[in-house]
Every structure is written in structure tokens, then in C-alpha cells.
Amino acid sequence: MRKYSGLFIVLGIMLVVIIIFAGYYNSFMSLEETVEGRWAEIENNLQRRADLIPNLVASVQGYVSHEAAVFTEIAQARSRLLGAEGVAGKVEASSALDSALGRLLMVVEQYPELKADRRFAELQDELAGTENRLSVARLRYNEAVTTYNARIRRFPGNIIAGLIGLERKDYFQIKEEAREVPRVEFK
């Protein structure tokens, strides 16, 4: 028995290490799942907004057919967003679309008969609602990223995170100039 005790101690330590490792690993995985789930929510809303745009443009088109440049710009920004990938890519494409939409809404301001159009008003509500959902999704995503990043950088989790190659996730940050543009004004 005596000659095996060293072996048992080593095995015991290994077991403890494995259990600790598994605990950290599992918590990292579920935190990462949360981050990805919330990112999916952002993507849903970006997609939702992209789907709204053809309708919005079509309802504006009847009134302001001669403002072709804005429409081309929106169409391009929209297709860029649908083709964009990764957090950084999507953030950039989405703020390009934001500013294109902002320009469209500025054009719309000059057409009172369009602002009185019921269908257009409803589409604007849909757009504002999507923007609001997007900002909620962004908030929740950033919260999840904060938790995740903190967990993988704190001791002793950072050692385990380093071993399995986990990296910090990007926040969804919007540029200042993009922030103010697509708000729909209410009187």
C-alpha cells in the first residue's frame, strides 16, 4: 500500500484539477452561448430592418421619385449589410445604412403630404420600433460580453481560458455620428 500512496496523491490532485477545469470550461461555454444568443437577437433585428426598407422606400417613391440618389445609396447600404460578416463588419455596415436612412427621412421632411400618409406613418413606426429593439438587443449583448470578458480575464479562469484559446469578444459600439440619425421625430 505504502508504495502506491504517491501515485494516489498524484491521481487525486489530477482529479481535482480536472474537476476545477471542467467547472470553468462549462461556465465559459454557457457564457459564450449567452453572448452568441444575444448576438443572434441583434442579427434578427438588423435583418428585420433590412426587410422593412423595400416597403419604406416604395411608399416614399410615389411622392419623391426624383430623389434617386438617396434610393440607390440605401439599396447599396442594405445589400452591404446583408453581405457583411463578423461583429465589426456588421457594425460598420449598419451605421452606413443608418446614415442613408437618415438622409431619406430628411428628404421626407420636405413633403408634408407624405408625412400625412397613413401607411408611411406606420412604416416609420415599424422602423422606430426596430431601432428600439436593436438598441435593447445591443444593450443586452454588451452586458453578456462584459460578463464573459470579465470571467475569462480573471484569475484563475484566465489560465484555463488561455489554455483553450478563448478570446475577448467585441462590444457592439456605434459611432457618434450614426447614433443620432435614424430617430423618427414625434410631435
Partner 1 sequence: MRSLCKDRSGFLAFLLLLALLIVVPAGANADFRRFVTGYVNDHAGLLRPEEERELSALLADLDVQTTNQFIVVTLPGLPPGENLELFALRLAEAAQPGTAERDNGLLLLILSNERKIRVEVGTGLEEKITDGRAGRVIREVLAPAFQKEAYFSGIKEALEVFIHWVEPSYLPEGSAKAAFDFEEEEGPGVLFFLILFLLLTVFSTYTSRYQQRRWYKRGYSQRTMGPVFYPLTGNRNRPSSPFKGFGGGGFRGGNFRGGGGFRGGGASGGW
Cell of 61: 417613391
Is 68 an interacting residue with respect to partner 1 (CB under 8 A)? Answer: no
Whichever of 8 and 23 has its CB closer to partner 1, that residue is 23
Closest CA to 53 of 140, 123, 145: 123
Is 53 an interacting residue with respect to partner 1 (CB under 8 A)? Answer: yes
Interface positions, 3-42, toward partner 1 (CB under 8 A) = 29, 34, 36-38, 40-41
Q: How many residues does the chain have?
A: 187
Binder among 10, 13, 19, 61 for partner 1 (CB under 8 A): 61
Grid cell 411622392 is found at 63
Closest CA to 57 of 112, 124, 110: 124
Whichever of 11 and 82 has its CB closer to partner 1, that residue is 82
63 touches 114 (CB < 8 A): yes
Is 137 an interacting residue with respect to partner 1 (CB under 8 A)? Answer: yes
157-183 in b/e form (b: 16+ CB < 10 A) is beebbeeeebeebeebeeeeebeebbe
Name the segment binding partner 1 (CB under 8 A); options: 14-22, 102-110, 151-159, 172-180.
151-159
Spatial distance between the Cα atoms of 4 and 11, rounded to a whole number of angstroms: 11
Interface positions, 70-129, toward partner 1 (CB under 8 A) = 75-76, 78-80, 82-83, 85, 118-119, 121-126, 128-129
Residue ranges binding partner 1 (CB under 8 A):
29, 34, 36-38, 40-41, 43-44, 47, 53-55, 57-59, 61-62, 75-76, 78-80, 82-83, 85, 118-119, 121-126, 128-130, 132-137, 140, 144, 150, 154-156, 158-159, 165, 186-187
